Structure 1
């Protein structure tokens, strides 16, 4: 019985790890795609500003790089916050599941103990009363004869 419980717990742990790893991987892919799109847009903005507005390339490049770096940092912070949130939620779900499982097991054990006590006490009281009455009848029969 205990090996099955251990095996189930390990499978449950593996499931949690898989969920967290998949969530983090998806968020990292999204993060990389967003950063790549930002870099592409930044390059296009530099080209358009330099060609159309005829501003000095260095100024445009510095401004765009600063903006891209700020946006990338914000995106990375948001994605990392989401990753932490997912991990916290998964851990909370696991803790709640374990607590519910423990409570259910405790309730089942208490119910089983109560049932056993009731059955044992009722059977012992009925058997003791029937045995005492039969002993009394035998005793009365012995003295009567």
Structure 2
């Protein structure tokens, strides 16, 4: 019997605006932080609190810091069972079973899109793919071998 557990805390994410609110000609301005961005419902399509961000006044920079959003934790468990049974003097039957269970969060196309209306957030999204029930992917392998 053997097993491995791996855990990783969430990846830090920095929100950016999709408009040039500072007037610098670049599209990497940050929004204003007006609440706790990590108090969201923690669902795949709504991982963080979108109401925690607001568009800064025209010609100014937002006050949101770097890495203010913490992404989902990742967990992985791998278990293996191996049993060798002698069936003859020079032959054995080997049973082997392996189970892998992982939580998967593929963060793709993280975007913030702040509308042009003052102090309103139109859309802030973190899209994740969480396969199967409760965000876990499972793989099972079982085999019998004559050794």
The verdict on a shared fold, with TM-score over 0.5 as the criterion, is no
Computing the radius of gyration from Cα coordinates, the structure with the larger value is 1
Query: Which is strand-richer, 1 or 2?
Result: 2
Name the TM-score class by shorter chain. Answer: under 0.3
Bigger helix share: 1
